[in-house]
Amino acid sequence: MAVSLTRDGEIAHLIIDNPPVNATSHAVRAGLMQALAQANSDETVSAIVLSCAGRTFVAGADVKEFGQPPQQPFLPDVVSAIEASSKPIVAAIHGTALGGGLELALACHGRVASADAELGLPEVKLGIVPGAGGTQRLPRLIGVPLAMDLVSSGRRMDTAEAEACGLIDVVAEGDLISAAMALASSLVGCEPRQTSSLAMPAFDEGEAQKQFAAVEKKARGQQSPAAAARLVLQAAQLSFAEGLAAERVCFLELVQSDQSKALRHVFAAERVAAKVPGLEEVKPRAVQTVGVVGAGLMGAGIAVAFLHAGYTVRVVERDETSMKAGRVRIEGLFTRLVKSGRISEVDRAEQLGRLSTFADRSALAPCDLVIEAVFDDLAVKTELFAELSTIVRPDAILATNTSYLDPDEIAAVVTNPERFLGLHFFSPANIMRLVEVVRTAQVAPVVLATGLAVVKRLGKLGVISGVCEGFIGNRLFTAYRRECDFMLEDGVLPHEIDAALENYGFAMGPYAVNDMAGLDISWARRKRNAATRDPSKRYVTIADRLCEAGRFGQKSGKGYYAYPDGRRMVDPEVTAIIEQSSRDAGIDRRPFEAADIVSRVLDGIVSEGRKILDEGIALRASDIDLVLINGYGYPAWRGGPMVQAGIQ
C-alpha cells in the first residue's frame, strides 16, 4: 500500500510508503485522495497528520513518470484536496521535502520538521518549474524575494532557515510524529489556515525586478530559472487561481522541452555513475581521519572539503614555514566562505577544530585515508608514497591527486598496492563538484568502493576513470583546447572563441579559463615533453609565444587578454602574436562563424570521447557528459556533448 491510514485517538495518520524516496507516483496520488476522503468523512476524526515511512518525506514528483501519458489524479488536484480539507492537516517532515513533496506540505495547515530535515523546490534543476502550486503558495508564506531565490536556484533550506522565515511552524525536538500530533490537536476546532488565502507579504517591486534580471542573467540560456521566478512575481499580480493556471501551463510546456529532457538525462546519469559493475555488493570501509599532504591551493581546498563533510583532517607540509602558510591558506578559505554567507562563524570554528597541521609526515600514522596534493612530478610522488607506506597502517587507503602522471607507476612503490587509487579533484577543490576516482591496475574493489563513498560524503560527484594520460577530463579538455588552438592559428581570435562558447552556455571560454588558471604550468609541461613530441603532428606555438612574452594570465596582469582595472580586454599585442604565428605556419587566416566554432569544438570532444569509451577508460557515455558538465563548465541544460551527438 503506497498510502495507509492509521488512528491515534481523534487524529488520523496518513503514511506514504513509496521507496526509495516516496515520490508522488500514481499509486501515491490515488492513495492520498482515497485516504483523505476517508479521514474527512469519518466523524470521529478531528485532525490529520501526513508523514512518510522510510528515509525521507516526499522528495518530489516521480521523474520516471515524466514523458509518459499523465494519469489522474494529478498532483495539483491532490494538493488542492489537502488544502480544502475541512479538518486541519499537519505535515510531519523528515529527510527532504522537495518539489511536489514540499508542495504537498505547503498545502497542509501546519508543518513540523525534524531538526535535520531540508526543504526546497529543485524543479529548475530538472528544467521545469514547480507544477503543483509551489510558485503561488510559497511567496504567500515566505514573501516574494525569498520565494524567488528558492524556486530559481533550486537550493535546499535547512530547518533553522525554514523556521525563521515561516516555512515551517515547529522544529521537533524529540519524536517528529508526536510533535506533529500535538500541533494537529492544537488546531482542532480552528478554521484550517489555507496558504493560498494568505495575503501576499509586502515587498519592494523595484528590487524584485532587479532580482529577476539577475536570475535571468545567471541562467545563461537555461529557461526554467527565469520562468520560475516570473511565476513568483505573477503570484503578486494575479489571483491565486490565475497564478495556478499560469504555473500549470508553464510546467506542461517545460516538461516537454529539450532542456528538461537534457537535465533529466543528467539526473539519471548522476545516479548511474555511482553504480559500478563489480561493486554492487561491496561495502565501503569506514573512513574518519583523513590526511592531506601538501597545503598549496589544491591541498588546502581538499582539506576544506573534508572538514565541511565532518572528517578529522591532518594536513602535512614539508617544513614549519610551509605548514604555517598552509594553515593560513586554509583559514583564508574559511574566512571567504563566512564572508559570502556560505557557512556560519559557529560552523567555521567547529570545522577548524577538526583540523591539525604538521611539518612531519609521521603525524599521518592514525589516518584511514591519505591524499597527496604535492607537485605533479613522478620523483616527488614516488618518494612520498614509498615513505607513506611505512608510516600508515597497512590497510590505510592511499590516494594520489595527480592530473597527468601514471598512477600505476606511483603504485609500484606502495606496499599493498591494492589500497592505492587516484582521487583527482578539480580546483578550487572545496567548490568544484567533480572528482575522478581513478581505477589503478591493482586497486581492490573495497578501496574503489570506499573512494566513491568518501566522494559522495563530500557532497561531490565521483566518476570512475581508467588510467590514461589526463584521465577522462583532462584528456577531453586537451582535445577541446587543441581544436581551439587550431582555430586560433587558422583565423579567429581568443575573444571570438570564448564568446561563441559562452553563448553556447559554457561557464567560461577556454582562454578566459586559461588566463585565470595561469599559462605557466602547462608551458613547463610542454617544455618537459618537447623532446618526445611527435614532429608529424600539428603544433600551435601561440601559447608558448605568449609565455615567452611574459604573459602568464591574470597573475601577471596579462595573458590571452589584457586586464586594465581587472576587466578582460582584447589586447592588440596578442592579436599580433597570433597573426605572426599563422604567417610562420604558412596559414592564410580566414573568419569562422560562431556556430562553426562551437561545432568544431564539440566534434573534437565527441571524437575523443568515443576513443575514451572504446578504450574502456570511461564506463559509459553519460559519465563523459558528467565530467564535462561538472569539471569544465559545459551547460548542464544541454545534457552533454555525448548525448547531443546521440551517443548514450
Binding mask 77-106 for ligand 3H9 (x = CB under 6 A): -------------------x-xxx--x---
Distance (Å, whole) CA 81 – CA 107: 9
Nearest CB to ligand 3H9, comparing residues 2 and 59: 59
| E strands in 386-468 | 397-400, 420-425, 434-438, 461-465
CB of 278 vs ligand 3H9, minimal distance in Å: 17
Nearest CB to ligand 3H9, comparing residues 70 and 564: 70
**609 belongs to the binding site for ligand 3H9 (CB under 6 A):** no
Give residues 233-272 in contact with ligand 3H9 (rule: CB under 6 A).
271
Q: Mark out the alpha helices in 371-469 (DSSP H runs).
A: 378-391, 407-411, 445-457
SS (H, E, C) 208-274: HHHHHHHHHHHCCCCCHHHHHHHHHHHHCCCCHHHHHHHHHHHHHHHHCCHHHHHHHHHHHHHHHHC
123 catalytic per annotation: yes
User: What's phi and psi for 415, nearest 5 deg?
Assistant: -75, 145
CB of 134 vs ligand 3H9, minimal distance in Å: 6
Give residues 132-151 in contact with ligand 3H9 (rule: CB under 6 A).
132, 134
Binding mask 49-68 for ligand 3H9 (x = CB under 6 A): -------x--xxxxxx----
**612 belongs to the binding site for ligand 3H9 (CB under 6 A):** no
**126 belongs to the binding site for ligand 3H9 (CB under 6 A):** yes
CB of 86 vs ligand 3H9, minimal distance in Å: 25
CB of 410 vs ligand 3H9, minimal distance in Å: 31
Q: Which residue stretch of 19-27, 228-236, 587-595, 630-638 sits at the interface with ligand 3H9 (rule: CB under 6 A)?
A: 19-27
Among 3, 39, 123, 627, binds ligand 3H9 (CB under 6 A): 123
CB of 21 vs ligand 3H9, minimal distance in Å: 4
Question: Does residue 558 sit in helix, strand or coil?
Answer: strand
Q: Which residue stretch of 129-137, 239-247, 439-447, 457-465 sits at the interface with ligand 3H9 (rule: CB under 6 A)?
A: 129-137
Distance (Å, whole) CA 429 – CA 295: 12
CB of 50 vs ligand 3H9, minimal distance in Å: 16
The catalytic residue among 10, 43, 65, 103 is 103
Distance (Å, whole) CA 605 – CA 608: 5
423 strand-pairing partners: 437
User: What's phi and psi for 489, nearest 5 deg?
Assistant: -75, -30
The residues, ordered by sequence, that sit 6+ positions from 297 with a Cβ below 8 Å of its Cβ are: 329, 427, 428
| Residue among 614, 612, 615 at smallest CA distance from 628 | 612
The residues, ordered by sequence, that sit 6+ positions from 570 with a Cβ below 8 Å of its Cβ are: 493, 494, 495, 561, 562
**479 belongs to the binding site for ligand 3H9 (CB under 6 A):** no
Nearest CB to ligand 3H9, comparing residues 277 and 646: 277
* 189: its cell numbers: 476546532
Q: Which residue stretch of 20-28, 388-396, 458-466, 481-489 sits at the interface with ligand 3H9 (rule: CB under 6 A)?
A: 20-28
SS (H, E, C) 52-105: ECCCCCCCCCCHHHCCCCCCCCCHHHHHHHHHCCCCCEEEEECCEEECHHHHHH
CB of 130 vs ligand 3H9, minimal distance in Å: 4
Per rule CB under 6 A, count of chain residues that contact ligand 3H9: 24
CB of 23 vs ligand 3H9, minimal distance in Å: 4
Nearest CB to ligand 3H9, comparing residues 130 and 299: 130
Distance (Å, whole) CA 33 – CA 38: 9
**130 belongs to the binding site for ligand 3H9 (CB under 6 A):** yes
The catalytic residue among 83, 118, 123, 247 is 123
CA distances from 11 to 88, 163, 177, 450 (A): 10, 24, 11, 45
Among 12, 14, 23, 369, binds ligand 3H9 (CB under 6 A): 23
Q: Which residue stretch of 122-130, 164-172, 286-294, 387-395 sits at the interface with ligand 3H9 (rule: CB under 6 A)?
A: 122-130
User: How many Cβ atoms sit within 10 Å of the Cβ of residue 281?
Assistant: 7
548 catalytic per annotation: no
Nearest CB to ligand 3H9, comparing residues 266 and 443: 266
Q: Using CB atoms within 10 A of its CB, is residue 257 exposed (0-12), middle (13-18) or buried (19+)? A: middle
Instruction: Tell me which residues touch ligand 3H9 (CB under 6 A).
Output: 20-21, 23, 56, 59-64, 75, 96, 98-100, 103, 122-123, 126, 130-132, 134, 271
Task: Give the residue numbers annotated as catalytic, written as ranges.
Answer: 103, 123
